[in-house]
Each structure stands twice: as structure tokens, then as C-alpha cells.
Structure 1
Amino acid sequence: MTDHTVLIAGGGPTGLMLAGELALAGVDVAILERRTNQELVGWRALGFHARTIEVFDQRGIAERFIKEALVTQTTSFAGAIRDIGDFPTRHNYGLGLAQKHIERILAGWVDELGVPTLRGIEVTGFAQDEAGVSVELSDGTSPRAEYLVGCDGGRSVIRKAAGIEFQGWDATGSSLIAEAEFDEEPEWGMRRDTHGIAGFSKPDANGGIRAQAAEEGAGPTGEPTLEDLSKAIIRFYGTDFGLRSAAWITRFNDVTRQAAAYRDRRVLLAGDAAHIHSPMGGQGLGVGVQDAVNLGWKLAQVVKGTSPDTLLDTYHAERHPVAARVLRNTMAQVALSRVNERTDALREIVADLLQMEEPRKHVAGMISGLDIHYDFGAPADVAADGVEVIEAVDSEAHPLVGRRMPDLDLMMPDGPLRVFTLLHTARPVLLNLGAPGTRERALSPWADRVQLVDATYDGPWELPVLGDVPAPAAVLIRPDGHVAWVGRANGINADLAADAGFSNALTKWFGPATS
């Protein structure tokens, strides 16, 4: 096998998205995938939420998913749907789409970008030094890469080989889900009793019966068997309805863990390799995709020598708290899903609270990912040697800073244009909403890296959960769609050329100025 600048272990949604991000930046990247083909057997994710749709839209591929998916309100907490139809986003809904189709669509996009996927190959170990990583593969080869990223799931070989702790909590409950055949017609629909939740459905008219049943306690830890499924069904119904066979059986539980560090020098983790949790709320796939979009442009700038490798530390700083919050909310949902009279009473009270406007917005924003806010800390001066010197420039940061940039309908000299269209190439954007030409001088030392776009916008500035925010005069947008800096219409940011905060933000995120 030949060497590559970046090797990605794992060709699931997270690995595919990261490969696409790196390819857009012109980085030589390859995916190592143990499966011999794209086929995905068994139950995995069944869709994703609004912020993930936005992320795909930022790359111009959202419609590929939308046209195949069920467009619906998927934002749920402890089993209760929270409608986000009134949220100020172009995608105020979720998508129902099986992971096998999500992977197929992503793989098609990655193929278009020219990324090789090397199948039937597993990473068995690695050794890293100051110059790169030697990756040991199951075929006996040991290619070199500047960086190795583990997107290889909850049992990540990369994480274990790096010695990164996987801290958290063991499972308290376990369930089986399967596509099976029965001699007798089962009891259709869902059943909830003291054992937990079980049920039967037929989501595909041409497929088998979808069976689900909670196991006793935390359940076994090995691969599930037909006997395990039979026992779980009998616990609820007193019969297994003549269970005959199963095309696949998947065991899932609420084990909850997070990597203590997302980076060990030249090795990084993303997706389930960095965090696992209960599937309640359907957040896992989206969190992994957003990990990839946060990491991709940063890793690209480092390997191309645009930014120092300390930029990669911001990946952990920003994404670790996001996943930690997901872990906590899924643990809360599992607790609220227990089947007993006391939990039933608590669940009723929580449901009443979530009928109120502010709690609904808070929880829906959290589950959908639309409320994510990266804390960039105090503004900093960056010396020529790249060392940050903290110096307050604006004690009251604009509320947009660290949050997702809304997909506004801009007016350009040659007609209307959406903000997300500007992000299709995964390049940073300085959006100037003031007089044309007023930003060129200040941006010129970074003009080779940052797009300057002069536009106007007269509509409202409204963010999900947060509400209305002051209209800015200029916005510096990172490739992941988050706002790095805001120029105010009045105050210390009015004169961009004199604003140290602007040049500091450019240097911090997009490397030192060029002469």
C-alpha cells in the first residue's frame, strides 16, 4: 500500500465525511475500511437532525439525502417529539433515512472527490514519531501518514492502541432489534411494561418483520443469537410467535463513554471512537459528522503548513464538550424511560414542562444541534512566533461568535445568493455587509486563504433558541459554518483596519499573515 498524507480508519459516516472535507481542501487522504463492500447489515442510525442537514447543505449535498428520506419532526426527548417547525432555519425538521442509505450517498460524494477507499483492510496497530505515523495493516503492509484518524467505532483499535482512556458508565439496560421471520403473526405495535419496551413492525413491505425487545438487566456482552432474541420476546409475550430465523440481529444498550482526549500527537479520534451513548434521541450519527466537519479544515491547514499544529487542540476543546452534553442528555432520557410508577410520574411532569415555550426551545435546540456554541475564550493577540498573548479587545462578544452562521438570503451585485452556497468549497469567508471594498485592505495578508464577499442583507438576524441578535457589519465564517469574528456597525469594530481583534481572529484560525 502507498503512503498518504492522512489515513482514516473506518468508512462509516464520520470517516466518509472527514475524507470529503480533506479532499475539498486538496489533501491526499485515503480510507481504510474492514468491510469488503459498502453493504451494511443490521440496525444502525435511522436518520439525523436539523444541524446535520445544515452541515450537508453547507457542502451542497443536502438534497441528495432529502430526496430519499422521510422529512419529518424527529427531535425527540425521552420518546416525545418536540416540533421545531418554528425554528429560524431553512431545515426546521429532521430526516428519517437508514444508515445504509446515508453511507451510500456519502460514499458516492467521496468517490466524486477522488478519495480511495481501501476495503477488506483493518488497522492492527501503529507507531508514531515526530514526522508521522507508521500504520500496521492486516495485509502485512505498514504505510506512512502524517496523521492517522480513528473513525473506527466504539471498539476503536486506534483509541486503544493510543492508550486513550474511555471514561464513563457501564450499561444498565440492553435491547435486541432484528429483521426476522415467524411462523405466527406477531402482536403488531409497541408494548411497554415492567420489562421495558418491545414491539413488532414491518417497515419494508418486501422485507422481514422488524422485532424489538428489551433484555433482562444489562444483557449479555457477546454477539446476539436467535436464542437470545427468542428469550427476550417470550419475556414480554409468553411466546416467540414461532421465531424461525433472522436476517440480522443487533444488540444495543446505554453504555456511555467518552475519550479523555481526542488527540494524541499525530493520532486523532472522531465519531463513535471518541464517544458512545444510548441511541435515544437519535443524535449519534450527527455528532460524528459534525466532529468530522470541525476537524477536517483544521487538519488540512496543519498538513499544508498554513497553521501550526496547535490548531488541532481546538478540535478537542470545541467538540469534547458537545459530546459530553449528548452523553448527559441521553443518560437523562434513559432514566426517564424506565418503566415503574415513580418514573412514570416524573416523565409526566417533564412532558408538562416541555409543553412550555422556553423549555421546549431549550431541549429541541439541544437535540437538533442548532444551539451549539463553541467557547472561543477571550480575544487574543498572536505574536509573530504564533504564541498567543491574551488581551481583551471587546469585553462583550457578539452573540454570533462561536455559533452557526444562519443561511441568509444575501443580495449580491448579480443577484440573490445563500450563505451556505459560499461554503460549498469548505473555504473560510469574510462576509462584508457594509460598503463594498472597505474590507480588502485589512484582509489582504490572508486573501490567499479567505474569500471576501461583498453583499447586503436587510432581513432579520435570528438564531434558534437565542432569538434576535444585533445585525453585524461583517462576519468571518469558518469552513465549518461557525462564526469566528463579528464586525459591529458601531463601536470598536467599526474601523476594521484598526481592529486588532480581526487580525487576531484571522491568525488564530487561518494562520499567520503573508507579506
Structure 2
Amino acid sequence: MHDVVIVGAGPVGLFLACELGLAGCSVLVLEREPEPCSPVKAKPFGMRGLSVASVESFYRRGMLHRLRTASGAGDDFGAGHDGHEPTSLRGVGHFAGMVLDPAQVDVAALPYRLPSPAMDGMLTYLDAVESLLSERAAKLGVDIRRGVTVSAISQNDECAVARAGGHEYAARWVVGCDGGRSVVRGLAGFEFVGTEPQFTGYLMLGTIADPDKLSPGINLTPTGTYIRMAAEGHIGMMDYDGGTFDRSRQPTRDHLQAVLRRVSGTDVTLSDVQLASSFTDRAMQTTTYRRGRVLLAGDAAHIHSPLGGQGLNAGIGDAMNLGWKLAATVHGYAPDGLLDTYTRERHPIGARVLDWSRAQVAVMSPDPHARAIQGVVRDLLGTRDGTTYAFERLSGSSIRYDLGGEHPLVGRNAPDLCLDNGTRLGDLMQDGRGVALDFSADRRLHRPAMGWESRIRYAAGPAGNDLGLGAVLVRPDGVVAWTGDRTPDPESFERAASNWLGSPEI
């Protein structure tokens, strides 16, 4: 019997598998598709945007350099890679089709921002992400089996069982990472609630006979939206039809041409279509991310339109949050209720993403009321405060979990604190342990920290920019769990460590 069975070998399932494998868990991944490669995952169709928070997750596990290389970004992609604070960002995305100006982001106003190799978001491709994570998972001892379709889920007080093709795969825990049409979600009886779609969206790759009839970039029109991507023939469309197109059938060339003509207001001609897919803005979320020994992460737990590229990023955040908590539960040292904090912390984040998506759908709607709102929003996004607010939401830097600490840094993603000897927080987190940074002159935390050697990495020394802190405890997912002043109290540190990482005696 495995410790964990993960259903779904997409980026979220593979990232979670890596987190669990890094923590020494026995992990089996079951994937329905027989082959990992697919044209819809490759360039340009599989292009995805990673937020700053997601880029930080790859950085903290030592994968950022390889991901940049595989994505064609290169080592010079991340602002701050040279250790100096950048004056602006390279790209910050859009809200409702209105592209944000990176120069308008007030970098100084961002909470606890420090120079780091992971200060910008980046563009990547699904095949690059999955290939990297699959290779890492294999090196960590994860068993990935493809061409396996799960047909039943059962559980008792001791284990959960996924059934597929006459085989039973038992584990102490089962996690559904099998996407927006999650089989695990339905089989395990999760309640899935939300709002119905306003539009049908399309992505296609084809040959356009008269491309000059289409404007480049994102175009909001009186009849819908179309996006002419950088790659020739790569088009996105939003048709506000109430989501009536039957997504069980493949869109034909004639259908796609009719939609493109309608939303663009032109008589553009599609000569042929090589690839096409459809989606909607249906926004749904499970009421909990755990039912007994079955958990959900990524699109299996929450679905919404792809506007703003939040889906993959929310899923990576889920995996980063769940991984160390589930591993601690498997190994028996998790404090009481630790696994329940997964839903408590991530469910509100998922709800915010759904509302962010709904707001964009409402603003982009081709009606007079929406167009009036577009004008107001465009004016607001043209201001420094408006752009900074939108960037905080898109980047994940506005996320703060309620961990009960008094210091405003507690519950936030930790900045990349750097000791004077050059040691960075991100470098210390590659083995998946929590980190205790002790800046105090007398190294007050050294003795208490030594009780958690297998779960906390201790590093001490002065730091040029310690944010006025004497010490900080960072959870394995990069979230600040505790801060101490210039003379940190070891007993306070011990309580915080025990609350999140369990008793040192275990």
C-alpha cells in the first residue's frame, strides 16, 4: 500500500508528487492519458503564464533555472537575478483584456519585497512544466502509471482505494488532481457549487487567409472578444452565447470561422484549422477540499475561465500548501488539525480567484453597461495605485493566511531574505524543510532549533536587510509562521514550531 495515490499527472499532480517524494513518502500517480506528449501542451497552444508566487515555488525547490531553460526564457528573465532591486517589472498581465503597464507598478509599495531570482512572472508551456516535474518525480522515487482510468473510489478509517481497469490501488490518502472534469471529485461525493457560464471560449491554431483584417493583441469588440497571439494563426475568442456550444464535440472550421467573423466584425477567412479547443467561464468550487481520506487540488477543486491565467497558479499554490502537511500526516508528526488547515487556507484563495474571473467576464461582456464599466476600470488601471493593486492580485503577493501572528509578515509569502555570507532563503528551502533564520547577535534560536533537525533547517548570521527582525520561521511552503524581534524569545519560537511542525520529540 502506498502512502498517497494521486490521480492526474498534470502540473498540479506532478508538483504535489514531487513535494511528497521529497519528504520521503511512497507515491503513486495514475494518469488517464497513455502518453505525456500532446500538441495542445506544446508551443504555442500550451502557453501558460506563471505568477511570481509560482515562479518562487520552482525557485525554492531548485527547479527555476531548468524551467527557464526549457521555456526558452533564459537565466536573464527574472528581474533582480543580479541581486539588485529592479526599478520596474517586465510584464504583469492584464485585467479583462486591458493590458497593465509594468512601469506603473509601484515596486516600493509591494509588501516585503526583496531582490530575488524570482521577482517576475514568466511564460512557459505545459509540456516544459510537465516534462521537468515528471523527471524530478521519477528521481524522487514516484511511480507514474499512464493509461489508467479511475472508475471508483472507496475509503474507510484506515485507507482509500482507487479502482481502475480491474485493479485496486490502495493508499493511506488519495488526492484528485484530475482537472476540471475531475472523476475523483464526483466519485468521492464532493459538493461542487458556483455560477453558470456567460460565454463559450475558443483557442485555435490555423491558417488565416487575410490576417491583416485582425488587429494584434486583445480586442474587446461590441460583439465579443478576440485575441490575435504572437504566433501566426494562433487565435483566442470569447462568444457571449451563455456557454451553449456543446463542448463534447470538436469545433469545426466553419463554426470557428463564423464565431471569429461575429466577434471581430470582419469577413476574415480561415483556410484551415490544425488544432482547436473550447472552454467556458463556468465558475465552480468544492465546499471543502477534503472528504475523509480523499483530497482535491487544482482544477479538481475549483474551475473558472482562464482569464488572467490564474488556474495553473492556483493549482501550484494548492500543491505547495498541501504537500508538506500531507507528508507530516503520513509520517505521524503533524500537529492536531494540520491537514484541515489546507482547506481553511486555500479555499478562500480559490474563492478569490473565481471572483476575479467573474469580474473580468462581467467587464468584458459586449453590452452597454459593461462598456461603461470598462471605461471606469480602464481609468483606474491607468493610475499607479490601480495597476499596483491589480499586480498584487495577479502575482499572488497580496495573499496572506490568517495564522494569528501579530507581525504583518506572518501568514505572507516570505521575501528572499539573504544573509551577509550570500546564503539566500530560497537556497535553504530546496530540501523541503522549514527554515529558521536567526539574525540575533547571540544566536538565541540555535539550541531550540536543534530539536527539529529533520524538519527545520537552521541558519544564522547578520543580514544586510533583515526587515528589522531578529529571527523568522518559514514553513516548508515558504509562508512566514513566526517572527522574533532583535532579541527573539526561544520559547515563543518553540511554540510556533510545535504548532506547525509538531513536537521535536516525535
Tell me which interval the TM-score lies in, with the shorter structure as reference length.
0.7 to 0.9
The 8 Å contact of residues 240 and 365 in structure 2, kept in 1 or not, is answered as no
Using the alignment, how far apart are the partners of 1:200 and 1:401 within structure 2? Answer: 42
Q: Pairwise mapping of residues 431-450 of structure 1 onto structure 2 (< 5 A)?
A: 431-450=437-456
Which residue matches 1:402?
411
Equivalent residue letter for 1:14:
V
Which residue matches 2:52?
50
Which residue matches 1:113?
140
The 8 Å contact of residues 216 and 232 in structure 1, kept in 2 or not, is answered as no
Which residue matches 2:395?
368
Which residue matches 2:235?
211
Deviation at 1:15, TM superposition (A): 0.4
The 8 Å contact of residues 473 and 483 in structure 2, kept in 1 or not, is answered as yes
Using the alignment, how far apart are the partners of 2:31 and 2:314 within structure 1? Answer: 20
Matched, 1:506 2:497: yes
TM-score, normalisation: structure 2: 0.87
TM-score, normalisation: structure 1: 0.86
* 1:22-81 CA-partner distances (Å, limit 9, x unpaired): 111011112111111111333455221111111111111111222334554033222222
Deviation at 1:192, TM superposition (A): 3.6
Which residue matches 2:318?
291
Q: What is the total number of aligned residue pairs between the two structures?
A: 471
Which residue matches 1:264?
291
Which residue matches 1:81?
100
The 8 Å contact of residues 32 and 118 in structure 1, kept in 2 or not, is answered as yes
Matched, 1:170 2:196: yes
Deviation at 1:195, TM superposition (A): 1.6
Matched, 1:195 2:223: yes
- Which of the numbers 12, 16, 19 marks the counterpart of 2:17? 19
Q: Pairwise mapping of residues 141-156 of structure 1 onto structure 2 (< 5 A)?
A: 141-156=167-182
Using the alignment, how far apart are the partners of 1:238 and 1:354 within structure 2? Answer: 29
Q: Which runs of 4+ in 1 moved over 6 A?
A: none
Deviation at 1:455, TM superposition (A): 2.0
The 8 Å contact of residues 432 and 454 in structure 1, kept in 2 or not, is answered as yes
Deviation at 1:294, TM superposition (A): 0.4
The 8 Å contact of residues 187 and 200 in structure 1, kept in 2 or not, is answered as no
What CA RMSD, in Å, does the superposition of the two structures yield over aligned residues? 2.2
Matched, 1:31 2:29: yes
* 1:271-317 CA-partner distances (Å, limit 9, x unpaired): 00011111111111111011101000010010011115621100001
Equivalent residue letter for 2:32:
R
Using the alignment, how far apart are the partners of 1:513 and 1:242 within structure 2? Answer: 65
The 8 Å contact of residues 126 and 134 in structure 1, kept in 2 or not, is answered as yes
Q: Name the % identity.
A: 34
Equivalent residue letter for 1:15:
G
- Which of the numbers 471, 489, 495 marks the counterpart of 1:495? 489
Deviation at 1:242, TM superposition (A): 4.7
Using the alignment, how far apart are the partners of 1:228 and 1:152 within structure 2? Answer: 29
Using the alignment, how far apart are the partners of 1:69 and 1:85 within structure 2? Answer: 28
Q: Pairwise mapping of residues 93-132 of structure 1 onto structure 2 (< 5 A)?
A: 93-132=120-159
Which residue matches 1:63?
65
Using the alignment, how far apart are the partners of 1:459 and 1:443 within structure 2? Answer: 22
The 8 Å contact of residues 307 and 511 in structure 1, kept in 2 or not, is answered as yes
* 1:178-218 CA-partner distances (Å, limit 9, x unpaired): 112356657343554222112545616xxxx2233333512
**Unaligned runs of at least 5 residues, structure 2:** 78-89
Deviation at 1:82, TM superposition (A): 4.6
